[in-house]
Amino acid sequence: MKVDVLVAEIGSTTTVVNAFKDLDTEHPEFWGQGQAPTSVLEGDVRIGLQGAIDDMCKTKGIDNIEYDMMLATSSAAGGLKMTVHGLVYDMTAKAAKEAALGAGGILHYVTAGKLRRTDLKKIKEIKPNLILLAGGVDYGERDTAIYNAEMVRSLGLKTPIVYAGNVENQEEMELIFDEESGQELYNIENVYPKIDTLNVEPCRRIIQDAFEKHIIHAPGMEHVRDMVTGPIIPTPGAVMECTKLLYENIGDLIVLDVGGATTDLHSVASESDQVERILIAPEPKAKRTVEGDLGVYVNRMKVIESIGEEKLREECEEMGIDLYKTLESYVAIPKNEDEIKLVERLTKEAVIKAVERHAGKIRYIYGPSGRSTVAEGKDLTQVRWIIGTGGALTRLPNRVHIMEEIAKHNESGMLLFPSKHAKILVDNMYIMSSLGVLSMTHREGAIKLLEQTLGMSFEGKAPKNDEEPIYIRELWREEEEAKEKEAQKQKEIKAMEAMGYDMSDYKGDIEVCSIKKNAMKKATNTK
């Protein structure tokens, strides 16, 4: 039997191989799947890879399988362990963090400012696969990034370095990380080239390239190239690639992956006109967050703590479940109805909390001119699609209902959540991460397979959301207050002028929250 491509997902415990055929036709096919324990710890990843292939052959009732290409995603041995070091936490450090997460990195440590001895100690203990240095807008502050680079060099690590800071420092970085250092340097565009401007995509691409280049030297992964002939990228990075591909075809969306240890949320969405004008700090168009305490197996007790143990016990009683008895027999894959119901409740909590932490919010600030409305964080109000992938959101009976709960947890209307109009989709074949890496070599085939696994045609467009958010009404109120203040001001100016005073220095318009009425009319489609 021959297929076009095998995609291997090399996880920390399990290696899964997905087979695809007819990728260059109008009807590409997800042909089969096999799995086996990951064999990194045994010193040779090929054992697990071959075991997964053998399992697929056994399932399909064939002796062997041939393929033109093998691609891979990997989260084995802790995935892509990274540390990130910037200048100001809310600016360059945050931008570098977003780039690392979007590329599929697992962030073990983030610092801002000059590295201290304790910081260096932690970096040495972590032994990252990649170190990302940033700091300073282009042609701005230089010294912090140079100092941090020299400190990292002094550790004597052989870890590759990605520098994505002030462009003026690039030559200096080449001198610091020379051949003698034994550390490969990737000099790239600044992730924060000027105030309120993010530039994370070049950094994401180079991080994935660096990962592929250096993963083959990791213990147990030395021979991965003997079998894998195409790209190797971090598994979360593959999901992000798939999310961006979906965005190009269906528009603004979020992808939720609830796992046993973590909950990942990927979003690709633009800000609404209203939010963009009042946003305090820029957010990346493509964003990923990893909630390390929201896992429904390894971290189930932390999720229970989030709900409240007593509250959960009462809810379980209403469902006819003995919470503590069910927890005694609790396994990664639920085996009976009670376990399924409990996992669904934990998954619901993980989903809501993950969206709360990922999404931004509207808040009020108070100044001399009164109350103003501002936005901070990622705007998800334009999201038209909510997609579930991962074990929980592809296999649980009530997976769709769980994701429908997102819009219901924004009663105040001040959270930048997707609305009730967002459509729910499920990665029924559980192949989105495979399709992310597959899209790099067979883009059109990956798109058609996405239509299959999501059960939809990309030709259709999501309905527009005509519902006016609460905060828009607040902005209109502020605009009216500004008009009243301006009218009062002009009245007072005329009165003073009538008395003979020169008031030319006091004439001017008041602007509240940088929101102009004509812009608001355009944004809200009002008259």
- DSSP-assigned beta bridge partners for residue 388: 256, 426
Residue that has been written with the tokens 């093998």 in this structure: 70
User: Rounded CA gap, 145 and 138, in Å?
Assistant: 12
Which amino acid does the sequence have at 224? V
Asked if the domains 79-215 and 250-454 are classified in one and the same CATH topology, the answer is no
Burial of 438 (0-12, 13-18, 19+ CB in 10 A): buried
Looking at per-residue pLDDT, the higher value among 473 and 379 belongs to 379
Residues 135, 140, 141, 145: is their CA dihedral positive or negative? positive
Mean per-residue pLDDT, 322-336? 90
Cβ neighbours for 158, distance < 8 A, ≥ 6 positions apart: 182, 183
What CATH number labels 79-215?
Answer: 3.40.50.360
Please state which of the four CATH numbers 3.30.420, 1.10.1760, 2.40.50, 2.60.40 is assigned to the domain occupying 250-454: 3.30.420
Cβ neighbours for 259, distance < 8 A, ≥ 6 positions apart: 295, 296, 297, 390, 391, 392
Question: If you ran DSSP here, which 8-state letter would residue 470 be given?
Answer: H
What was the pLDDT predicted at 467? 58
- Give tens-digit pLDDT for 25-44: 999 999 999 999 888 878 88
| Residue 119: how many other CB atoms lie within 10 Å | 18
Compute the residue count for the chain: 527
User: Rounded CA gap, 254 and 122, in Å?
Assistant: 34
Question: If you ran DSSP here, which 8-state letter would residue 513 be given?
Answer: T
Query: What's the N-to-C CA distance of the chain in angstroms?
Result: 64
Residue 517: which pLDDT band, with cuts at 50, 70 and 90? very low
Kindly report which listed range (61-70, 364-373, 432-441) carries the lowest average pLDDT score.
364-373
What was the pLDDT predicted at 184? 94
Mean per-residue pLDDT, 200-215? 89
- Give tens-digit pLDDT for 418-431: 999 999 999 999 99
What was the pLDDT predicted at 1? 86
477-515 burial, b if ≥16 CB within 10 A, otherwise e?
ebbebbeeeeeeeeeeeeeeeeeeeeeeeeeeeeebbeb
**Is the pLDDT assigned to residue 471 strictly greater than 70?**
no
Q: Is the pTM of this model over 0.75?
A: yes
Give the angle 419-348-430 at the CA atoms, nearest 5°.
Answer: 90
Residue 219: which pLDDT band, with cuts at 50, 70 and 90? confident
**Is the pLDDT assigned to residue 64 strictly greater than 70?**
yes
Mean per-residue pLDDT, 292-297? 90
What was the pLDDT predicted at 526? 40
Mean per-residue pLDDT, 20-25? 95
User: Rounded CA gap, 235 and 221, in Å?
Assistant: 15
User: Rounded CA gap, 388 and 38, in Å?
Assistant: 25
What was the pLDDT predicted at 470? 60
**Is the pLDDT assigned to residue 258 strictly greater than 80?**
yes
**Is the pLDDT assigned to residue 166 strictly greater than 80?**
yes
What was the pLDDT predicted at 96? 93
What CATH number labels 2-76?
Answer: 3.30.420.40
Mean per-residue pLDDT, 198-218? 88
Mean per-residue pLDDT, 330-343? 91
- Give tens-digit pLDDT for 444-470: 999 999 999 999 999 865 445 555 566
Cβ neighbours for 187, distance < 8 A, ≥ 6 positions apart: 163, 170, 173, 174
Strands, DSSP E only, in 164-258? 185-187, 232-234, 253-258
| All structural domains of the chain with their residue ranges | 2-76, 79-215, 250-454, 470-524
Phi, psi (deg, nearest 5) at residue 367? -140, -170
**Is the pLDDT assigned to residue 292 strictly greater than 80?**
yes
Provide the token pair at 199. Answer: 């530039």
Residue 19: which pLDDT band, with cuts at 50, 70 and 90? very high
Kindly report which listed range (86-100, 162-176, 462-476, 498-512) carries the lowest average pLDDT score.
462-476
Phi, psi (deg, nearest 5) at residue 379? -90, 115
Burial of 455 (0-12, 13-18, 19+ CB in 10 A): exposed
- Give tens-digit pLDDT for 230-254: 889 998 899 999 999 999 999 999 9
Question: If you ran DSSP here, which 8-state letter would residue 15 be given?
Answer: E
User: Rounded CA gap, 48 and 311, in Å?
Assistant: 43
Average pLDDT value for the chain: 89
Residue 478: which pLDDT band, with cuts at 50, 70 and 90? low
Helices (H), 103-142: 117-126
What was the pLDDT predicted at 516? 39
- DSSP-assigned beta bridge partners for residue 74: 10, 234
